[in-house]
């Protein structure tokens, strides 16, 4: 994969379906940029195969080999440093990041969460939406801070809940994720999206969700 002026790193723990959506978006020019590396804390993550197939450098740092969260995060920072990413994108990365990591990439660290935050931070969001009888469900992309699934919101996309199956709902939400995340990454690449004094701006206007 040819590197462009804008490059970003992707952190994964699992299948990497959002990673694949980003790879496809780069190929179809939806994202004006390139992925400089894919880093995983899970040596068996299927997303690593997706990266290798696309000729993207991969890095594996097993969190189980470290005695503290900070030590693991320092190792990730050191590994990412050689790629000099303009942006770090969390894509199903199942580790809570320490302040050490968040501070290092402040203002250029994005995460996607399968709910309409601030509703349902954490896990099992699809079942929680069904259990609550919510009319709408969706996804949120946000800048990362040290709170769980917190940080200034960049964008949201939603759908009408028409199923009682958490699995079907999850698949529908994946479709929203695969469409929205590449668009937000491209906003950042074009300097349309910025974090200024704790507030997310798009085209120089505060984002209000």
- pTM, whole model, 2 decimals? 0.95
d(CA 46, CA 182): 20
User: What are the residues whose beta carbons fall under 8 Å from the beta carbon of 27, sequence distance 6 or more?
Assistant: none
Alpha-carbon distances of 54 from 35, 93, 101, rounded to whole Å = 10, 20, 27
pLDDT of residue 204: 97
CATH number of the domain to which 152 belongs: 3.40.50.170
Structural domain of 180: 7-206
How does strand 58-60 pair with strand 7-12? unpaired
Q: Note whether residue 2 is domain-resident.
A: no
- As a whole number of Å, the end-to-end CA separation of the chain is 36
Query: Is 34 inside any structural domain?
Result: yes
Task: Report the candidate in 94, 90, 98 with the shortest Cα–Cα distance to residue 141.
Answer: 90
The strand order across the sheet containing 136-143 reads 58-60, 34-40, 7-12, 87-90, 109-113, 136-143, 153-160
Beta strands 199-202 and 205-206, pairing class: antiparallel
pLDDT in tens, 183-201: 999 999 999 999 999 999 9
| Average pLDDT for 173-181 | 97
Q: Would residue 1 count as lying in a domain?
A: no
pLDDT digits (tens, 9 = 90+) for 115-135: 999 999 999 999 999 999 999
Instruction: Give me the number of domains the chain comprises.
Output: 1
Question: Binning pLDDT at 50, 70 and 90, where does residue 5 land?
Answer: confident
Q: Are strands 34-40 and 58-60 parallel, antiparallel or unpaired?
A: parallel
Distance (Å) of CA 95 to CA 21, 107, 160: 21, 19, 30
- Which residue in 53, 51, 7 sits closest to 31, CA to CA? 7
Q: Do 144 and 102 touch, CB atoms closer than 8 A? A: yes
Mean pLDDT of the chain: 95
> What is the SS3 assignment for 200?
strand
Positions annotated as catalytic residues are: 113
Residue 186 lies in a domain: yes
Q: Is residue 198 part of a domain?
A: yes
Count CB atoms within 10 A of the CB of residue 182: 21
In this predicted structure, the answer to whether residue 1 has a pLDDT above a threshold of 50 is no
Q: Which residues contact 42 (CB under 8 A, 6 or more apart)?
A: 12, 13, 14, 60, 62, 94
The answer to whether residues 59 and 38 touch, using CB atoms and an 8 Å cutoff, is yes
In a domain, 156, yes or no: yes
């Amino acid at each position: 994969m040819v590197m462009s002026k804008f490059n970003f790193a992707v952190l994964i723990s699992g299948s990497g379906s959002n990673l694949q959506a980003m790879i496809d978006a780069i190929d179809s020019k939806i994202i004006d940029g390139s992925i400089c590396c894919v880093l995983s804390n899970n040596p068996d993550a299927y997303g690593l195969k997706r990266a290798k197939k696309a000729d993207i450098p991969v890095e594996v740092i097993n969190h189980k080999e470290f005695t503290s969260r900070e030590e693991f995060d320092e190792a990730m920072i050191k590994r990412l440093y050689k790629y000099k990413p303009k942006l770090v994108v969390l894509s199903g990365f199942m580790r809570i990041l320490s302040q050490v990591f968040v501070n290092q990439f402040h203002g250029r660290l994005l995460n996607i969460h399968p709910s309409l935050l601030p509703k349902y931070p954490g896990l099992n969001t699809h079942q929680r939406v069904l259990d609550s009888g919510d009319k709408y469900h969706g996804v949120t992309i946000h800048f990362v801070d040290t709170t769980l699934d917190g940080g200034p919101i960049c964008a949201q996309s939603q759908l009408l809940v028409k199923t009682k199956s958490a699995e079907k709902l999850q698949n529908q939400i994946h479709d929203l994720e695969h469409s929205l995340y590449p668009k937000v990454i491209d906003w950042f690449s074009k300097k349309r999206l910025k974090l200024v004094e704790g507030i997310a701006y798009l085209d120089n206007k505060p984002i209000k969700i």
